[in-house]
Structure 1
Amino acid sequence: MAHPLTPAASPYRMTVGAAPGWLAVSVVAAIAGALTATALPGALARVVDTTLAGDPDHKALGWLLALVLSDAAAALLGTVAAATAGAAATVAVRRRLIDHLLTLGLAGPRAHPAGDIATRVTSGVPPVTGALATAVTAFVSLGTAAVAVVLLARLDWRLTATLLLTVPAVLVLMRLFMHRAGDLFAAYQRLQSGIAARLLDALAGARSIRAGGTIERDIERVLTPLPQLSDTGHALWRLQRGAAYGVGLLLPIGQLAVLTVAGFGVTAGRLTPGELLAAGGYTMLALQSFSQVDTVIGLAHARAAANRLRELLSLPDPLGQPGTLLPRPTEAGLTFEQVTVDGSTGPVLDKLDLTVPAGMSVAVVGRSGAGKSTLAQLAGRLAEPDAGRVLLAGVDLRQLDPAALRRSVAYAFERPALLGGTVGGLLRLGRPEATTAEIEAAARAAQAHRFIVRLPAGYDTALSAVRLSGGEYQRLGLARALLHACPLTVLDDATSSLDTATEVEVGRALTRLLFGRTSLVVAHRASTAARADFVAWLHAGQVRALAPHAELWTDPQYRALFQAGSPTEDA
């Protein structure tokens, strides 16, 4: 069952919750590394001064060696912990995103093209999940810098004053960079998503493009945003180069100034040679927090990516919170009350009323665009009506628990998706506890068993290793729907690719197996409509007639629906 998400769902909170233990280890390692780093200059100063005085302090030397090893160990542990936490967070955020998007059904693709969603889920997640470790490093670095400034002041206040003169210029430079980089990263990601969306559209219509001889034109269409993407990328590089040059110039100037003042301090007797080295170490630690241009770039990238992920997470879940737990009845009547679905050019369904009595089968027919597939989607809440309501067993679908709804409605589509890993896994999808005997019985009923057993490994054949015809695809989808044995079965043009002989055999099996069960069947063949108890004839967004096929067949306009042949895809 999908995890309910709210508009306030944050990818950062998901990152924290994915691997809190490893995240805590990375924080502890970063703090330990900072402590050892701030202790090193003082220990080095002690070793140098005692050695120059002719009385080497071996304990100080041992302490210095221990600090060096501890710093290396903390760095290694921090790297491993941050990488592990980041990987776990990436998996968790992607899982939640995919879970939410699949729960949305058609709402997600309507709001965002598939290519855009794919880009956000793949390339948009790692910058966000890695940002927390980056932020921890940045904050610890700032804390280290503050401690280093204090320790530098203990050596000589003049050193701290000299160092602080360079800080305002660096802060202004970083602030300007963050402001400009955020907008550029957002624009870059939008353009990337646009190219991905166009590419997926082109791949989906590859046959049409090749048949129409429009390959060059479609390549140009897909790559239309590329010049703008290039300009945005170059703008980012110029901005990064300017920030790196600016910081790279200011920091050495600050370090040189501090060392110059420290050198005068040694000459004046205020500082020892060892303290001169310590001043150089503290200065490097203090300035290190301002030299992390890559860190700032990563955080700017993460902020832009997080905003795009929030857009997906903020899409409202149409299934909402769990509602009424519908007992799994053997019969379930289906009712559409004043259902309206708006399309781009007008209503697809317009205040439609239709009742499918419990235990009866109703075929849905109509010309292309009449709303047949839309009606089928509404039956199992794969789509939401803009007005009106749909009831199953007298209960509004919006009040049903999503898990109970999925157990109550089985679907077979014109082109079922090959999910599940193997042929047997595909049939078990949604019912993993099904036995081998049950799977084979459903496959036999759908006339699929014979071609399945001819596959290299039978039911254990990997789906990636099979090449199936359209009719074989459909028979697998029918077998999966029959295996579920739900109170309501929806067949959305699920036999359109079968040859006539196979369609007759499958039709007889469906009539036998679905007898006494409620079924809604989108039909493009007269033979399919004839097997139903009633036929709902859709026209102009409403039910023009509801009667047995034989009674409607006397109407020439009804016969014309099948004689003319209608496309298998409709609204």
Structure 2
Amino acid sequence: MIRRWLVVFAFAGAVLQLALPYVLGRTVDSVLAGDTGPLALCAALIAVAVACDALETWATGATSATEAADLRGRMVRRILWAGPALTRRFPEGELVTRTGINAEEAAQAVQARIGAVALLIPTAGGLIALTLIDPWLSLTLVAALVLIALALKTFFRASAVSAAAYQRTQGEIAGRLVDALAGARTIKAAGTGRAETARVLTPLPELRRHGLALWAANARAGVQTGLVVPLLEIAVLGVGGWRLTQGALSVGDLYAAVRYAVLGAGLSTALGQIGVLARARAARTRVEEILQAPCPAYGNSPVPDGPGELRLGDVVLPGGSLTAIVGHSGSGKTHLTAQIGRLAPAELPIALDGIPIEALTHDALRACVAYAFDRPVLLGDTLADAVTLGAPGADPAAAAARAGADAFVRALPEGYATALAEAPLSGGERQRLGLARAFAHPAEPGRPRLLILDDATSSLDTVTARRVGETLTATSGTRLVVTHRTATAAAADQVLWLDGGAIRACAPHRVLWDDPGYRAVFA
């Protein structure tokens, strides 16, 4: 809706600008003839033109803000929907830059295009008006327009190249900065702050070079188009004065001709819109890389009825069983668990109660699978929100109690209402809250539930880890636990032993223990 108002005000202002020289010229002739009547109409027309200009300014800002908000919303939805596949492709700082600065620049393309098209109205009108006043004057304007068009074309090409390089370098700096912020504690402990600052700012000279190239292109085009307008005025005055002496023009005609010449050369003021379009074009390319990123395709199968039998290639895990996943570092444990919940592309056939996971709807898959990670990221305003994320109807205290987190949460002054940003949490406490979040998703009667703990007890002390293990054993549903603990593997119904990114064996711990290679996993 706001975009429509921008079109209305921009084009109305352009038409009024086109009409003003004619009205002013006729008013001059009338005043010289002793008739001051047209002065009121002239003043009213000027007032309306000023109002249109002010409203166009408002609509321009509102349109850019609306377009940027819409673009950012689409990008954030795409990033979250695409999931880890996209975040592995682009660094976090790069994604922030693209959803921030680049989205803002790309959104300005709409108002720039409208403004550029609106400039064509006075340009075309000025050319037609000069032709009607005197064809000799229109030829002068045509020559000027050719020079202006060539300057703008050169400027657009140079700006597009420099803008793309500038934006790319911005993203690189942002990516390095985010990495440094994530490792701030390590940098401080190592005393490498100066070296890390230099690393983050290494692309700064390149950024400066591209920025200077943008300004240089703008300056060259500004000088070139700026020289055309006064030269055009001089040429029109010369030709018009000559025609005036021949009696072919009146004083008012000459005044109107000069005004129309300047108005027709107003295309030179498109420098700003052309620069915005060049930056917007480069930014749009970066934005489209996000918007066109592939997202997982889901099927139309609902949550299947069954015990929760999980098939991983040729391996079948019985429904309701507890499976320990073990293997050396880099053997693919996390990648395998990510494939089950479609957090990573599946590299082997995976089925739940006979239904391929890719055939399930998005909501059905999320209802089937609950995760707890080794380094959980807590989201929400309060600790209660962090625990019940994705399960708003769950009891946060009950879930936290099962994860051994209830006691330390209640010890806080605000308890579960404690603001997440103000909660002094250790690594183990965060991990327990991550476990509580997984426990907060209860299995529905008659429906399978996969509970996946990806090394989610690694930061817990032995006592707490044992209690969580007891809770896990008593939990219904099919459970998979990535572990490095012998006791956890021994308590499981079966062990999935990974080696070199593949499943090497699936059997009870007591059976696998006879293999020296298996024992070496726990060494």
TM-score (norm 2): 0.93
Distance in 1 (alpha carbons) for counterparts of 2:185 and 2:315? 38
Q: How far apart are 1:200 and its partner, in Å?
A: 2.1
C-alpha contact 1:162 1:258 (8 A) present in aligned 2:
yes
- Aligned equivalent of 1:370: 331
Distance in 2 (alpha carbons) for counterparts of 1:530 and 1:267? 110
Q: Does 1:99 align with 2:77?
A: yes
Q: How far apart are 1:556 and its partner, in Å?
A: 5.0
The aligned amino acid for 2:254 is L
- Aligned equivalent of 1:465: 422
- SS for the counterpart of 1:381 is coil
Q: How far apart are 1:330 and its partner, in Å?
A: 6.6
Q: Does 1:379 align with 2:340?
A: yes
Matches within 5 A, 1:312-327: 312-317=290-295, 319-320=296-297, 322-327=298-303
- Aligned equivalent of 1:10: none
CA deviation string 1:451-475 (max 9, x = no partner): 2233343323222222211111112
Q: Does 1:448 align with 2:405?
A: yes
C-alpha contact 1:409 1:489 (8 A) present in aligned 2:
yes
Q: Do the aligned partners of residues 288 and 529 (structure 1) sit closer, same or farther apart at CA in structure 2, a change above 3 Å counting? A: same
- Aligned equivalent of 1:42: 22
Q: How far apart are 1:553 and its partner, in Å?
A: 4.2
The aligned amino acid for 1:354 is V
CA deviation string 1:126-169 (max 9, x = no partner): 11111111100100111221012112222222221111111212
C-alpha contact 1:334 1:379 (8 A) present in aligned 2:
no
- SS for the counterpart of 1:369 is coil
Q: How far apart are 1:555 and its partner, in Å?
A: 4.7
Distance in 2 (alpha carbons) for counterparts of 1:263 and 1:178? 37
Correspondence for 2:86 among 102, 108, 122: 108
Matches within 5 A, 1:199-210: 199-210=177-188
Q: Do the aligned partners of residues 331 and 256 (structure 1) sit closer, same or farther apart at CA in structure 2, a change above 3 Å counting? A: farther
Distance in 2 (alpha carbons) for counterparts of 1:236 and 1:54? 53
Distance in 2 (alpha carbons) for counterparts of 1:234 and 1:399? 53
- Aligned equivalent of 1:5: none
Q: Does 1:507 align with 2:469?
A: yes
Matches within 5 A, 1:135-150: 135-150=113-128
Q: How far apart are 1:328 and its partner, in Å?
A: 5.4
List runs of 5+ in structure 2 lacking aligned partners.
Answer: 444-448
Q: How far apart are 1:496 and its partner, in Å?
A: 1.2
- Aligned equivalent of 2:446: none
CA deviation string 1:483-525 (max 9, x = no partner): 122511111111111122222222222222x23x011111122
* Paired residues, number: 518
The aligned amino acid for 2:389 is L
Q: How far apart are 1:545 and its partner, in Å?
A: 2.9
The aligned amino acid for 2:84 is L
- Aligned equivalent of 1:401: 361
Q: How far apart are 1:233 and its partner, in Å?
A: 1.9
Q: Does 1:151 align with 2:129?
A: yes
C-alpha contact 1:247 1:290 (8 A) present in aligned 2:
yes
Identity, in percent, stands at: 42
Distance in 2 (alpha carbons) for counterparts of 1:391 and 1:159? 79
Distance in 1 (alpha carbons) for counterparts of 2:415 and 2:7? 52
Q: How far apart are 1:124 and its partner, in Å?
A: 0.6
Correspondence for 1:477 among 434, 442, 447: 434
C-alpha contact 2:330 2:500 (8 A) present in aligned 1:
no
Correspondence for 2:32 among 34, 52, 57: 52
C-alpha contact 1:163 1:257 (8 A) present in aligned 2:
no
- Aligned equivalent of 2:254: 276
Q: How far apart are 1:299 and its partner, in Å?
A: 0.6
Matches within 5 A, 1:111-130: 111-130=89-108
- Aligned equivalent of 1:9: none
Distance in 1 (alpha carbons) for counterparts of 2:238 and 2:364? 76
C-alpha contact 2:16 2:45 (8 A) present in aligned 1:
yes
- Aligned equivalent of 1:8: none
Matches within 5 A, 1:421-432: 421-432=381-392
The aligned amino acid for 1:107 is A
C-alpha contact 2:169 2:207 (8 A) present in aligned 1:
yes
The aligned amino acid for 1:367 is H
Q: CA RMSD in A?
A: 2.1
Q: How far apart are 1:212 and its partner, in Å?
A: 4.1
Q: Does 1:248 align with 2:205?
A: no
Q: Do the aligned partners of residues 329 and 78 (structure 1) sit closer, same or farther apart at CA in structure 2, a change above 3 Å counting? A: farther
TM-score (norm 1): 0.86
C-alpha contact 2:310 2:352 (8 A) present in aligned 1:
yes
C-alpha contact 1:335 1:390 (8 A) present in aligned 2:
yes
Q: Do the aligned partners of residues 40 and 455 (structure 1) sit closer, same or farther apart at CA in structure 2, a change above 3 Å counting? A: farther
Distance in 2 (alpha carbons) for counterparts of 1:131 and 1:496? 50
Q: Does 1:131 align with 2:109?
A: yes
Matches within 5 A, 1:201-220: 201-220=179-198
CA deviation string 1:7-50 (max 9, x = no partner): xxxxxxxxxxxxxx111111111111112111112222222222
The aligned amino acid for 2:21 is P
